[in-house]
Chains A and B, each alone.
Chain A
Amino acid sequence: MISFENVNKWYGPELQVLNDVTAEVNKGEVVVLCGPSGSGKTTLIRTINRLEPINSGKITVNGQETHAKSANVNRLRREIGFVFQQFNLFPHMSVMDNITLAPRKLKGMSRPEAEEKALKLLARVGLEEKAGAYPSQLSGGQSQRVAIARSLAMDPPIILFDEPTSALDPEMVGEVLAVIKGLAHTGITMMCVTHEMGFARDVADRVWFLDKGVLLEDAKPGEFFSNPKHPRAQRFLADLRH
């Protein structure tokens, strides 16, 4: 579904943030991407829908080379939901309008149809009663759940999460992770940057470990947690346990 072939990216001439990344995410799989701060996780996940350009290599999504000059980036992005660390809800719109904007404007869905769908999605994330609220009236956990519903409104076959719980107060992490868990293995292909190792253990099909732009591990969670091959991954896991 998503494949990286020898992907390289630099910021300026000095800093190489992605170093020859080659890997593949299969359809319907859940991949958790972890690694130390500054290792390039955000950069990697943002290259998939071309929010970040790459310098060399090839990224293919659903058979389409996304960084090709000829690729229709707007069409491609409709197929890829993206959930940001800081939610990025549109503050001037109600929750309902946040969710219905893209389906109405990009898919030509009628307002009643889009709203009916939005209510179903809100029910799915446990926030039916917030349809008329504005983002500033929501807690962090509620905001992120709305952001997830908003991404799902386009029925994307792929959804990407960049540290969806790290901007949240600890007591709200659980409610958001529960929603993401509920999505896993429903057919949608999922990639999630997170430091929640419990989540990775329970939900991930595979865990990728990125360090200084190099993809050091691509393993089943059981393998990764009990027997990480690379010393850096061992140290990373040891640090997390403290």
Chain B
Amino acid sequence: MGYEFDFSAVLTDQYIGWLLSGIRITLMLSAGAWLLSFAVGTALAVLRATNFKPAVWLVATFVEIHQNIPLLVQVLFWYFAMPEILPEAWRDWLNQNNSEFILAMIAIAMCHAAYISEALRSGLRAVPVTQYEAGRSFGFSYLQTMSYIVVPQALRLSIPPLVNHSLLLFKNTSIAMAIGVHELTYQTRQIDSDTFRTFEIFLVATILYILMSFVIMAAGNLAERRFGMGAR
């Protein structure tokens, strides 16, 4: 006996089209969630660095919640529960504008913002306080000093963990299929149920994910060489 591989069944023009559209959505979801998670993660880390008690508590709570609840649950929560408490106008807008994509993006971004803020927190602690003082001594405000001097250094110091989190975020976009986002894993499942060529199509999807991960890792290496604090 033995399994007869037949890739021609899954690599027809139609299915290649589905895969490409899945890749497009996966990349869009990754890019959107990545940008949002870095913006929110940086804001959280800076907020925490104020050492202002309520801010520290707020950020710590945000981080705990997002790190301890499964991402799938968070995605389902954003998709099924959040719209209920939104104003009607927002809900209508979401429904007309691809709500599953937007809510999946927000859910993934918020979860990873928690991890990114933690990675940046160690980076921020590694920036000598004298750098902060030098910034303030020119007359820069707290926020100016953070954004021109301290955060850029913390980001550079945190490149390795930030690259890891970026990879993880990219892989986690597959969870969005649970609420019907037509990303790569969703399309793979569709082709599978059309053709019953489970092994072949998942092998193809695996290779596609690995290739894209390689690109992210290569970009990370480049960033480390170009911007890493040991670079010069």
Footprint of B on A, CB under 8 Å?
Answer: 49, 51, 74-78, 80, 82, 84, 86, 88, 90-92, 101-102, 105-106, 134, 136-137, 154
User: Using Cβ atoms and an 8 Å threshold, which residues of chain A touch B152?
Assistant: 92
Chain B residue with minimal CB distance to A89? B134
Residue B182 at the chain A interface, CB threshold 8 Å? no
Are B139 and A102 neighbours in the complex by a CB distance under 8 Å? yes
Partner of A51, one of B133, B153, B229: B133
Contact A106 B130 (CB under 8 A): no
- Kindly list chain B residues whose C-beta atoms are within 8 Å of the C-beta of A101: 138, 148
Q: Flag if B232 contacts A134 (CB, 8 Å).
A: yes
Say whether B48 faces chain A, with CB atoms less than 8 Å apart: no
Known A84-B130, A90-B149, A105-B144: A77·B232 in contact at CB below 8 Å: no
Q: Which of A134, A136, A137, A154 sits near B138, CB closer than 8 Å?
A: A154
**What is the interface of chain B mostly: helix, strand, loop, or mixed?**
helix
| Closest 8 pairs between A and B when the two form their complex, measured CB to CB | A88-B134, A78-B139, A77-B139, A82-B137, A102-B138, A74-B139, A134-B232, A136-B232
12 residue pairs bridging A and B, Cβ less than 8 Å apart: A49-B137, A77-B139, A78-B139, A80-B137, A88-B130, A88-B131, A88-B134, A90-B153, A92-B153, A102-B140, A105-B144, A154-B139
Known: A91-B229, A92-B156, A92-B229. A86 touches B130 (CB 8 A): yes
- B141 near A: Cβ within 8 Å? yes
The answer to the question of B136 belonging to the interface, with a C-beta cut-off of 8 Å to chain A, is yes
| Residue from A51, A74, A84, A86 in contact with B140 in the complex, judged by beta carbons closer than 8 Å | A74
A91 touches B153 (CB 8 A): yes
Chain A residues in 8 Å Cβ range of B149: 90
Question: Are A88 and B232 in contact, CB atoms less than 8 angstroms apart?
Answer: no
**Known A88-B133, A90-B149, A106-B138; 6 more pairs at CB < 8 Å:** A51-B137, A77-B136, A78-B139, A91-B153, A92-B227, A92-B229
Complex contacts, A102 vs chain B, CB 8 Å? 138-140
- A183 CB → nearest B CB, Å: 18
A75 and B229 contact, CB distance less than 8 A:
no
Binding site for A on B (CB under 8 A): 130-131, 133-134, 136-141, 144, 148-149, 152-153, 156, 227, 229, 232
Given contacts A86-B130, A90-B149, A105-B148, whether A78 and B138 have CB atoms under 8 Å apart is yes
Whole-angstrom distance between the Cβ of A124 and the nearest chain B Cβ: 19
Contacts of B137 on A, CB cut-off 8 Å?
49, 51, 77, 80, 82
Minimum CB–CB distance from B159 to chain A (whole Å) comes to: 12
A67 to chain B, nearest CB (A): 15
Which residue from chain A places its CB closest to the CB of B144 in the assembled complex? A105
> In whole angstroms, how far apart are the Cα atoms of A77 and B156 in the complex?
28
- Known A49-B137, A74-B140, A105-B140; contact A137-B232, beta-carbon cutoff 8 A: yes
Chain A hits for B153, CB < 8 A: 90-92
A102-B135 Cα distance, complex, nearest whole Å: 9
Bound-state CA distance A78–B140 (Å) is 8
Chain A residues near B140: list those with CB within 8 A.
Answer: 74, 102, 105-106
- For B232, the chain A residues whose CB sits under 8 A away are 134, 136-137
